[in-house]
Structure 1
């Protein structure tokens, strides 16, 4: 690749989701080519610093060492006299339709500029069909010198696939060598705000049923820091504090990956944790961000269409589909009979093979970072 300079733009909307994806993208790119010169432009360096501890939030410009590479980190809002010069000018990865800072706009659309600028719109992850259609679709800008194109993460070979950094891959491989603890069913909870009483009722029932066969059996709940924590804790208290409830501190990305890969069942939310849950090969529920007119259900069912072909049995398919839809409909109650049955099967390891097969299929789509670098090789 002739142009080794890449600029990644991130305007933080969700506290950690957006920058979490950008951080993983930067790691994955550097893992593949340590000679790349990465510049990350972020609107909230405090959020970035929460997962990359050496970042100094108050610095407008700084360098960050990752393995044997060095990234330049820039605050989105620079002073009026700030100038950015680089030869050649970086290829720009505009994440999640974040737009561009004013100082970058001036460079790109300078009437005297003669070079060609390349922008790739790295979109939000979705299983909807439009991801296939939009991938590598060109879009217009107000200058013929500024070339822009969609680059879509997704769940099919027609998209760019999912991000896979080397540390996550190592963590996943190590998790598969660990012996299963037959005395424990470990459940991770990380979602948006919602009611969890029915889930804890089902987990209590599972623990009671399993203890009739194995008195040492316990259900362990790992409640992640964030919006769902107070709701999960309240449900645990309301249902008798019968489970081993662990309140997690804020974790690094690497620590969180390990938990998702080693837990037996994961309740996840958003995009970054969803992608890890899919790749982990463990049974999971996804809590999508609630949208107007319950549009999140369109996204939920699009993902279900990708998962269900790997699940055996009509009843189990229907169970998973109805539970996911209930879980993602505000105010809807979960069918406790179906929920208990589904979680019980998970506790007994009956569902793992289905989700492992789904995961293996996703790996066959390739690594988004590698697919991106391969495409950049074709640029003139």
Structure 2
């Protein structure tokens, strides 16, 4: 019998939470031969990532994963051998009670948010004592050997390399999205939360000597883009040219196609956690829009990652990169920061490739989860 795993996902950040858990569930099934149920409270968000799914189904199978709707009233279910509560979501009371009744209590893991902060290494893998006696542990994704690693399917980097090296592969993918950039244009993807600095950045791109083609999948940043363009609505396929900048609105694509989009671009602006990690695997310069927290608590996480990521960069390039990320996340002039980044472009490209290789040398998140489970037996 295959080991059974339950993953619970409460959708908070639109597509970040479900994005991570859906990738994880698929990998556990495909690469580790596990029986995985993914419990999701918002199937509409899931369908955006997996278009063939049924938003009205209480139970369905997609790519080997059993997808279950997690309703407000718990329907009852036999607990799995491993139970993952993603991002500190609260498991149903009825499910926890059923866990207590098992002859062998399940291994209960709290899969936490990704962070480069120093304290994460000390907390990763620690037990979280439960008054009811169940075994629960903290599991932190991360960027160092003392954390849980990053999501990375075995085929991810070979597929990325194949798209970039196979003749016409990149052009064929982009053509399927209706994208035909002018020769020599820098291709930029933009997936972000609302940001008042967008217009300032776009002004700099439009005034630049080098042409840019900005690809914007449907999402929350479209309101700010429409303000800059003077358009109330921006349907899929919208194409505008202003100065050296071409702006194009893309559909919200599946996870696999979003990966291909990142691989096809020269620079990727991403947000949250899921697209942030996928941009790192793309091995290209990037810009992170971190999820906003009260009292600007997210700034500490931003600075912690910058401190780690910029290691190996020259002081000038590291300063320029940090200035750009801070401008985007702290409402500072983006145009000035973007212009100051340009002299360091080639160094940042090489650094992104080196970072990708260094992270790929470490075990991935799914593998480390499975190892943690086996060590607990």
Pair 71,235 (structure 1): closer, same or farther in 2 beyond 3 Å: same
Does the aligned pair in 1 maintain the 2:2–2:35 contact within 8 Å? no
C-alpha displacement at 1:295, in angstroms? 1.7
State how 1:117-128 maps to structure 2 within 5 Å.
Answer: 117-128=106-117
Residue in 1 aligned with 2:122? 133
1:101 aligns with 2:101: no
- Pairing 1:154-303 to 2, within 5 Å after superposition: 154-166=142-154, 168-177=156-165, 183-195=184-196, 196-206=198-208, 209-210=209-210, 218-236=211-229, 241-242=242-243, 243-303=245-305
Distance (whole Å) between structure 2 residues aligned to residue 178 and residue 236 of structure 1? 36
Secondary structure at the counterpart of residue 378 of structure 1: helix
**Does 2:14 align with 1:23?**
no
Aligned to 1:4: 3
In structure 2, C-alpha distance between the alignment counterparts of 1:32 and 1:75, rounded to whole Å: 24
Q: 1:41 aligns with which of 32, 39, 42?
A: 39
- Mapped to 1, the partners of 2:219 and 2:20 lie a distance apart of 17
Partner of 2:175: none
C-alpha change, 1:311 and 1:236, in structure 2 (3 Å) is farther
Distance in 1 (alpha carbons) for counterparts of 2:187 and 2:344: 13
- Alignment root-mean-square deviation, CA: 2.3
- Partners in 2 of 1:240 and 1:115 — Cα distance? 63
Runs of 5+ in structure 1 lacking a partner? 211-217
TM-score for the superposition, normalised by structure 1: 0.86
Instruction: From 352, 357, 372, give the equivalent of 2:369.
Output: 372
1:270-349 alignment to 2 at 5 Å?
270-312=272-314, 314-329=315-330, 331-334=331-334, 336-343=335-342, 345-346=344-345, 349=346
* Structure 2 residues without counterparts, runs of 5 or longer: 171-181, 232-239
Aligned partners of 1:321, 1:72: CA distance in 2, in Å? 42
Q: Sort the Cα spacing of 1:232 and 1:79 in 2 relative to 1 into closer, same or farther, 3 A.
A: closer
Q: How far does residue 236 in structure 1 lie from its aligned partner after superposition? A: 4.6
- The residue matched to 1:369 in structure 2 has which SS? helix
Aligned-residue offset at 1:16: 1.1
Deviates more, 1:197-206 or 1:118-127: 197-206
* Shift, 1:10, TM fit: 0.5
Residue 83 of structure 1 aligns to a residue in which SS? coil
What SS is found at the alignment partner of 1:119?
strand
Q: CA deviation at 1:244?
A: 1.8
> Residue 74 in 1 paired to residue 71 in 2?
no
Does the alignment pair 1:56 with 2:44? no
8 Å CA contact 2:317–2:347 kept in 1: the answer is no
Asked if 2 retains the 8 angstrom alpha-carbon contact of 1:31 and 1:166, the reply is no
Corresponding residue number in structure 1 for 2:178: none
Give the 3-state SS of the residue equivalent to 2:242 in structure 1: coil
CA distance, structure 1, for counterparts of residue 273 and residue 42 of structure 2? 19
Cα distance 1:178–1:300, how it changes in 2: closer, same or farther (>3 A)? farther
SS of match in other structure, 2:149:
coil
TM-score by structure 2 length?
0.87
Matched with 1:353 is 350
CA contact (8 A) 2:268 2:286 kept: yes
